[in-house]
Amino acid sequence: MHSATSLPGLDRLIAVCQQHALPLRSPPPPASPPKAGDSVFGEPFDPHLAAVYQRFGAAEFGPLSLYKPGSEWLDLVPWNERLRELDAVPFRSSLIFGRKTGFALYFATVPRLATPQGIQPVIYIEAVDVLTCVPVASSVDSFFDTYSRYLELMVEDPEYAATRLPGTVFPWGVPHLVARDEPLMEQVRAGRFDFLTHDGDKPHPWLQELRAERP
């Protein structure tokens, strides 16, 4: 297993953005970045996310933007505070660290589902017409790896080449990529995300599709 400060998935994501001339912005880290285990909303800060903020601030990787640690209203903690005021389970159970640039499509860690080493899985939250939440990675760095592979598919899509708009949307169009993450799949099969993803007694249809995938 990679150490918390080793981020091969992030390195792969950066390389893919460079190779395909996708937007890439990596500003320097804040003066006092959050550390692994720091208490944020009474829960420990994820080690992978802490390692990211040791390297960058409000970074952009293709259509993915990270929130900057800081005190302005669109920074990491203030923005999460605003979303938690909506009192929705996905917002109150997670720490949103990124979004699809310009959209209310978020990526977040889930502290209560951390491994014994403190590594937290990542969920996708779509806050558009209906609040929707599904798991997408077993860790922040695994998410970066999966997202980099999605970007490789995106840039090869003829629709994207013609319009610069992706014909395949993450995560809905790539359950096969998400399913490559076996630690995540073990958690999915064990029902650990059910408190976030179920609509009443029914799992989200995409989650059923994900369970059917074979890596």
Dihedral angle over CA of 52, 57, 61, 64, nearest 10? 90
Please compute the mean of the pLDDT values over residues 193-213 and round it to a whole number: 81
Q: Give yes or no for a contact between 109 and 122, defined as CB atoms under 8 angstroms apart.
A: yes
Tokens 């609040």, residue located: 131
One-letter amino acid at 29 equals P
Task: Specify the DSSP element, H or E, that contains 178.
Answer: helix 175-178
Mean pLDDT of 189-199: 85
4: pLDDT strictly greater than 60: no
pLDDT score for 167? 86
- Domains in the chain with CATH codes: 8-212 (3.40.1580.10)
Q: For residue 57, what pLDDT band results from cuts at 50, 70 and 90?
A: confident
Contact residues for 116 (Cβ-Cβ < 8 A; gap 6+): none
Q: What is the pLDDT of residue 215?
A: 59
Evaluate if residue 148 carries a pLDDT over 60. yes
* More confident position, 60 or 128: 60
> Contact, 177 vs 183, CB < 8 A?
no
Q: Which of 68-77, 108-117, 135-144, 199-208 has the lowest mean pLDDT?
A: 199-208
Report the half-sphere exposure of 143 (CA within 13 A, side-chain side): 28
d(CA 66, CA 160): 23
Q: pLDDT tens digit string along 95-104? A: 999 999 989 9
pLDDT in tens, 156-171: 988 888 888 888 999 9
Residue 2 pLDDT: 42
Task: Summarize the confidence of residues 139-157 as an average pLDDT.
Answer: 96
DSSP conformation letters of 122-176: EEEEEESSSEEEEEEESSHHHHHHHHHHHHHHHHH-HHHHHHSS-SS-TTTT-HH
pLDDT of residue 201: 59
d(CA 14, CA 24): 7
